[in-house]
Amino acid sequence: MSESSLNNAFRSDGAFTGQLDQETFRALLFNSFLHQQGRLRRNRREGERLAAIAEISRAVSKAGDLRTALSLVAAGAVEVTRSTGAAIAVGASGQMTCWATSGPTSPPLGAAVPLETGLSGECLRSRRALRCDETASDPRVNREACARLGGVGSMLLVPLCRRGAAIGILEVFATEPHAFDEGDEQGLELLAVIAGSALHDFAESEAAPRVSRNVAPSARTAPAPVSPV
């Protein structure tokens, strides 16, 4: 298809003139087909994502303790974003540690998450989602920690909020750069709402003392690994 043939098919105001040769017409038809196929794939992917999130929400609502609930969300985050790892970090007494993880490129339970610098601190302070498309060129990322986790190439973080305050983060990791898009960000934000609700529900329930014993000590007594963000 030549550029002149395509330009001759439309007036300067964008109106179609009908002057299309057969080659140009076939090219336009093929491009339209590709566009429709892409839109159908995106719609199907979005439907699958929302169905998965609804199922995760149901499973979390039936969880008997906070550890199980957060683990379900972390595993769901890997599924929804097609990532290679996920972690939920919660802050207490000025410190933040990983309370739930999933996938081979996630930090271990109890890993310390820096709050003064890096993406995690920025995510908490801004209370908005942050995306790192290339860890190799982002100064906010601990590249040594990324290497230890199996070569993390990109990551996405969203805040966990309770009563208007950011109390933690939900983050996903991928070995490939540019692994996440806006759809992944929206899906992760929905999962963060589910995790935040679980934190609230268990803190307000009679299970709160048991939750405190089951979750927080593992973060305090773990070795000294550090999250890459």
Residue pLDDT, tens place only, 200-215: 888 766 444 343 333 4
Domain, as residue range, for 165? 42-221
Q: Give domain status of residue 36, yes or no.
A: no
Task: Identify the CATH number of the domain in which residue 105 sits.
Answer: 3.30.450.40
**Which residues does 18 contact at the CB level (< 8 Å), separation at least 6?**
9
CA torsion angle 106 112 116 120 (round to 10):
20
SS3 92: strand
pLDDT confidence bin for 61, thresholds 50/70/90: very high
Q: Give, in degrees to the nearest 5, the angle at Cα 58 between 57 and 59.
A: 90
Q: What is the arithmetic mean of pLDDT over 2-10? A: 50
d(CA 122, CA 145): 18
pTM of the model: 0.73
DSSP-assigned beta bridge partners for residue 16: 10
| pLDDT tens figures, 113-168 | 888 778 888 998 899 999 999 999 998 888 888 888 889 999 999 999 887 788 99
**Any domain includes 32:** no
Residue 93: pLDDT above 80? Answer: no
| CA dist., res. 177 & res. 47, Å (int) | 25
Domain total in the chain: 1
Q: Stretch 52-74: mean pLDDT, rounded?
A: 94
Q: Are 142 and 120 contacting, i.e. CB atoms less than 8 angstroms apart? A: no
11 domain residue, yes or no: no
Indicate whether 92 belongs to any domain: yes
Identify whether 190 is part of a domain. yes
User: Within a domain: residue 141?
Assistant: yes
Q: Quick one: tokens of 186?
A: 């929206």
- 77-91 pLDDT, tens digit per residue, is 999 999 999 999 998
